[in-house]
Structures are given as structure tokens and as C-alpha cells.
Structure 1
């Protein structure tokens, strides 16, 4: 490894540089922020604050934790606008902390537990390996590719399925409402997990029917059992690399393409293209990061993807290349109020 030897010698002791130094140190401790979020989620701190503010001592009694240490964790989270401490030492929920509550619509607690689990944490510790080799760190750390590992570990699979369902739920109704689905026809939710998005689409559009395609363990815990959807959907276990159900008017790939490298993504899109009914559309629902320096959740997800799997978050030009190879053509991108966008493509 070559060590650069720059000729410029900036004065890093200058007073104006101190703010940058403080920022760098804080960012280097970012792993502690994830650990603090996980602690809050595990001990249901947001749930205990749902009825009103409590001190760290009160929360410690409710959670079986040490008050002094819990307060230090809460103070750190409050500095990031997760909880707020008042002048009397009581902690309040913030808008962000509301999403840590369990069992409420839109809860992200299970997603936080997934993203802060050792599956992600230990893989991210191998980021240097990923950058040096161009391969994910997960197989090096855990001994198997990510999805193969999930097939052999029921607890990890449950964590992933539950976490992804929570991660996706806030987006499901937004997609169902933002995209102009046809009045009639069939929507195929490719790799749709438990069917949260398909459920929202079918509830909003009573003239549509649906197919939920995924592996059997995810389908077993589907959320499509309510009476309003009776007779309007079917579950189909399968491999979206090989084929997808034929004749769909809309094929939806939500948080699917970003799991895979370009070659695999083209195979998935090509399967959808072969099954597509005349005049049909393919929708890719993924993060589409901004090309500039502006913060965007997709940029963090992109790094997570390369440490876990071979996928990535793609911009419009990247997607256009994939679409062209699969016989598709991008027609528009519809943003949503969340981190993801709806990218529409039709037969080329």
C-alpha cells in the first residue's frame, strides 16, 4: 500500500480547524450511536415514554437497567434528537423517537434491531476488505454468502424478514398511493416478502388482483389474509432469477435490485420483461441517491449493500443501462416523501 506524501502542509493547529477536528472525532465514534439506538430499542425506552416524560431513574426501574449508565446513553441519543432531556432531568419522545415504539403503525423498531444486529455491524467492520477486494465482507466474517446464510439460520432469517417488513412498511402505502396503478389487471410483487406492499396496492385498488412471489419462509408469514382481499391474490414460491409469473400488468421490485450486482439485476429484470403483458410496466422501488454532496439515506444504504451483498443503490443512468440490457426503457421517476423513489419502465 502506497502512502501519499503531499507537499502541502496545512496548519491543523489553527483555531478555525478545531471545528473540523471535533466533527471528525464525533463521526469516528458513530458505531456507538448505532449501539445506543439498539439499546433504546431493546429496552423499549420509547414505549415507556409514550405516556409522558420520565427520568432515567424511572426508566431504569422499568427496564431493569442501571440508572446512571442509562442516563448517559439517553443524553447521547438526545444530542442526536432521539429523545429530549428537559431542565428537570426527564426525557421526552421526539418525532424520530416515536418510530422506536413497538406495535404502532409505521414503527421502525424491528428495522433498527436488524440494522444494528451483528449481521450488519460485523460486516461493516470488514469494509476495508470490501474496498480492497471488491467483494462483500459478510462471507468472510460469517462463512457463507448472505442469502445462503439466512437459509441455514432460522433466527437470522426471522430477524431479516421482520426487519425488512418494518423498513418497508412506511413506504408501502406511499407507493400504493403515489403510483397510478391501472383499474384492472394483475400486480406481481417480485421478491415481495410478506406482501406488505401488495396488500396496500390491493386495498387501494379493488379492481386489481395480485401475485406474491418469494421464498416459502417469507410467504408463510404473509399479511394478505384479511377478508377484503379474499380471492384476489395468490402466493407463489419461486426463484425470480429463473422466471416470474406470466401475464402481469405491473411487476414491482421493491428493495430487490439493490441486493444484486448488475448481471443478477439484469436477469431479474429480463424475467419480468418476458412475463410482462402488452402495455405493462415494471416498477423498481429503491433509493435513487442524489449525485451531489447532499446527505441522502441511500448513500449509507449503498455502503451497507456492498458489505453485505453484491448489490448497490443505483442512479438513473445506472438503471437505464440495466433496463436496456433487459429490453426495457425507463419512462419516469416518481419520488416519495421517504428515501426511496418509484422508477417506471416499459418494454423497449
Structure 2
């Protein structure tokens, strides 16, 4: 059986808190003059770059050993004390760091996630989203909306994934960002879904294999296959051996547009389908379907867009897909239709305490 973390709050509580938070935010926007509410939202872009600056400078890592006075922290980081004070003043006002009564800066619940060594770290994804490369693409959001297509080919000469493969500085930054995001959903996934009921799991487009590695750590008998492009998985066999999982976890390379390993009881596609258009996603799903036995299970782990008008993480990521990829986030109905066209029957959707859901599907008879 899969173990789950007692630290993950119950899903009904998460939803209730979300509704309460959204309600308060909506009330605030309606009570203040419209132009003030709009300006406040626009200026949150400054805050996101402030968070990026703290991640790039390593502020959280410098505070791991305990609080530091501004002058001491500035010397540790090699930055201007005045500049640091001004940055921290903004971040502290949003509870991203804390300041003690004696003036020293300290970590708190949010800034712990900026540590590079935290169990749940968002540092790498913040570095990617705040990078010059990513920000430059988002300045062309209007162009993406105007054309309905990614801006990458026009700006970089190549679609994003081809560009990332050819420019490994961007590719490595992106790979680390995706691993960083994965840590956010790990505990909610294990709390909501029992991966331990499958004998052999195949993770398609697994990246660095963090999810499958964690599944095997938490199960006694399961075996796994990590599958991704050759340049992505080249160093993984040595890492698997260091983890003591070589007898249960293998690494195979290839393209999910061509063929994937056979013999799995469950096939995982985590944060893959949303990167691609319906036509490309259908190609991937049909490739996976061709490798599956009739009683095998497909697990698509993605955000499922809700059909309400409240804020939701998927609505942000959907625009990210528009700007930087050919894909999109999808509603439950859109997933059901896509899976049906690809030879699958959607059997259930398992919601988690994170934005991700597990869409469980079986080969259509």
C-alpha cells in the first residue's frame, strides 16, 4: 500500500479555505474603486520579481542557520545593504520573510520553500519564471492571444521544446523547474491515490523520474520504468543505482510520439498532455494505447480546469501554454473527449489537495 502524509489537509477543508479566500479577495476588489483594485493587481508583477530576486540572491539559503541582521545578511550575500533592506521590506509585508523585534531577518513558512535544500522547494521554478527568457516571452502575450499560437518560434526561431533541447542552459533550467513543481504535488498525490496497487508502472516523459522514484520508495513490491528522451535520461541509471533501486527501476529512452515500453500495469503521463495541442496529445495517447494490455490502466496527472469564474491555478498555466507551447489546460469534458478519440474510457477523476488531479482511464473495449 502507498503511504500518505498526515500533513496534507483534507480536501474539503482545502476547498472551503479556497472559497473563503477567494470571497474575501472578491469583496475587497468590489469595495475599493475599480482603478485602485486594477492597479493593485498590476503591481503584483513587481512582487513576483521581488520573489525571483530573493531566490536568485540565495536569501533563504543564507538564513537557514538562523536570523541575521541586515548588515550581516548583506555581507553574506555580497549585496548592497540598502538594496537588501528595500527588497526585504516588500517581501516581509507579504509575509514571505519575517523580521524579528531586534530587526533581524528570518525564515517563515513561505520562505522555507525558497531554500534550495527544502523537501518542497519552489526555488527552481521561481528562477525559471522570473528569468529573462521567460519574461521576454510573456511580454508578447498579446501577440499569442492575437494569433492563438506560441510566441517562441518567432522570438527564438524554434518551438520551445526544440529550443530547450538545443540550448541546454534553458533546458536545464526548465527541467529543474518542472522537478521543483513536482515536489509541490507529491504529498497530495500520495494522500489521494494508491499507486501501490500496481505491479509495474511506466512513467512516460518522466524527466528526472522523481515521481516514480518516490512511488517505489513508498511501496514494497512495485517495479518501475522511467521513459524519456535520451538527453534527459542519460545520467539517470547511475542515480538510480545510488538510490539502491536498480533491481526495481529501469530507464529506457525514446520518443512518446513513436513507441513506449510495453508490459506496464499502469502508464503515467504527468504534466505531459497539457504541453500539446489536441492533435499532438492524441498521437501521444495512441502511442501509449498501442503498448498497453487490455487490463492496463492509464493515469493522466494534470490540472482539470473548473467551469467556474473564481481564480484557479489552471487559468494561469493555460496562458503559459498559450505563450510557450502548443498545448492548453482542459476541462473534464475536454479530457473525456480527448481520451475517447484516443481509444480510452475515462473511468474516474481523483482530486487532490494540490491543483493536480489523477484522471484514471482504461483502454476502450
Normalised by the length of structure 1, the TM-score is 0.90
Give 1:283 deviation, angstroms.
0.8
- Ranges in structure 1 where 5+ consecutive residues have no aligned partner: 1-15
Matches within 5 A, 1:55-134: 55-134=69-148
Q: Work out the CA distance in 1 between the residues paired with 2:99 and 2:152.
A: 38
Q: Is the 8 A contact 2:198 2:266 kept in 1?
A: no
Give 1:136 deviation, angstroms.
0.8
CA deviations on 1:104-148 (whole Å, 9 max, x unpaired) are 212221121122122321111110000000001122222211011
Higher helix share: 2
Match of 1:225, SS state, is: helix
Q: Work out the CA distance in 1 between the residues paired with 2:235 and 2:49.
A: 29
Residues 249 and 165 of structure 1: CA distance in aligned 2, closer, same or farther (over 3 Å)? same
Q: Work out the CA distance in 2 between the residues paired with 1:316 and 1:251.
A: 19
Match of 1:29, SS state, is: helix
Corresponding residue for residue 181 of structure 1:
195
Residues 226 and 174 of structure 1: CA distance in aligned 2, closer, same or farther (over 3 Å)? farther
Q: Is the 8 A contact 1:120 1:304 kept in 2?
A: no
Q: Is the 8 A contact 1:176 1:197 kept in 2?
A: no
Match of 1:279, SS state, is: coil
Q: Is the 8 A contact 2:256 2:284 kept in 1?
A: yes
Normalised by the length of structure 2, the TM-score is 0.86
Q: Work out the CA distance in 2 between the residues paired with 1:182 and 1:73.
A: 46
Matches within 5 A, 1:273-284: 273-284=289-300
Q: What is the Cα-based RMSD across aligned positions, in Å? A: 1.9
- Ranges in structure 2 where 5+ consecutive residues have no aligned partner: 1-29
Give 1:218 deviation, angstroms.
1.6
Q: Work out the CA distance in 2 between the residues paired with 1:168 and 1:227.
A: 19
Q: Work out the CA distance in 2 between the residues paired with 1:20 and 1:239.
A: 50
Q: Is the 8 A contact 1:75 1:85 kept in 2?
A: no
Match of 2:84, SS state, is: helix
CA deviations on 1:41-90 (whole Å, 9 max, x unpaired) are 11111122223333333321111111122111112122322113345433
Q: Work out the CA distance in 2 between the residues paired with 1:311 and 1:25.
A: 30
Q: Which has the higher contact order (CA 8 A, sep 6+)?
A: 2
Q: Work out the CA distance in 1 between the residues paired with 2:44 and 2:299.
A: 34
